[in-house]
Amino acid sequence: MEMTKEDAVSPVVGVMLMLVVTIIIAAVVSGFAGGLASGTKAAPSASIETKIAIGQDDGMGGTTTRMTFEMLSGDSIPTKDLQIVTYFTNSTGYVYKTSHTASSPLFAPYGTATVTRLPFLNDMSKTGGSGYGAAHFGNFTWTTGDIMTTGNTRSTADFLGLPWTAGVYPAPDTIDDADFKPGAVVDVKMLHILSGKYIYDKEVVVV
């Protein structure tokens, strides 16, 4: 009696198992990626204007150097969610770099016991009368029309990491790096920490 051979079914089963495993892995990867995407915060959108001005009226008959950040339009942003990074390179190639967040040190803009975290909210009436501390960077929500400021020369120097010398009245405070003058360029970046995206990145010309 002639014996006949039948093809085994094991190769077919093996291929089907491989397909099933591949589909399961693809589903897991897709789900994981979807979870990552849904967990990422969207960066706020805002139109921001930054100015660095030398020789500004200090309101007391003198002049000062001041840096301001104005939100022209866009989403309200809690400043605790922001990091401001600055770079200034002088003619020797030395780079002054600073980084400011809600946990940065406090500075004394006027050489007194009054301290603030830079840049502070220019109009403290917008803090609801809850005190000077509410205007510290990191303690308020930045909204359209709000201006954040470094206040005066020494605070601007501190904010940018520049050396400065206190003036003896009536002489004003001065920034010691001679390259920091009108026409100088400061690279200013503003990072939205939760999304990891920059909402502002420009070269600001000192005026």
Answer for the pair 60, 170: CB distance below 8 angstroms, yes or no. no
Q: How far apart are the first and last CA of the chain?
A: 105
Q: Is residue 163 over pLDDT 70? A: yes
Beta carbons of 150 and 159 less than 8 angstroms apart? yes
Phi, psi of 160, rounded to the nearest 5 degrees = -95, -5
Q: What is the mean pLDDT of residues 35-54?
A: 82
Mean per-residue pLDDT for 173-179?
Answer: 95
Q: Which residues pair with 96 in a beta bridge?
A: 88
Cβ distance 47 to 71 under 8 Å?
yes
Asked if 165 contacts 178 with a C-beta cutoff of 8 angstroms, the reply is: no
pTM: 0.77
The sign of the CA dihedral 126, 130, 136, 139 is negative
User: What is the pLDDT of the chain when averaged over all its residues?
Assistant: 85
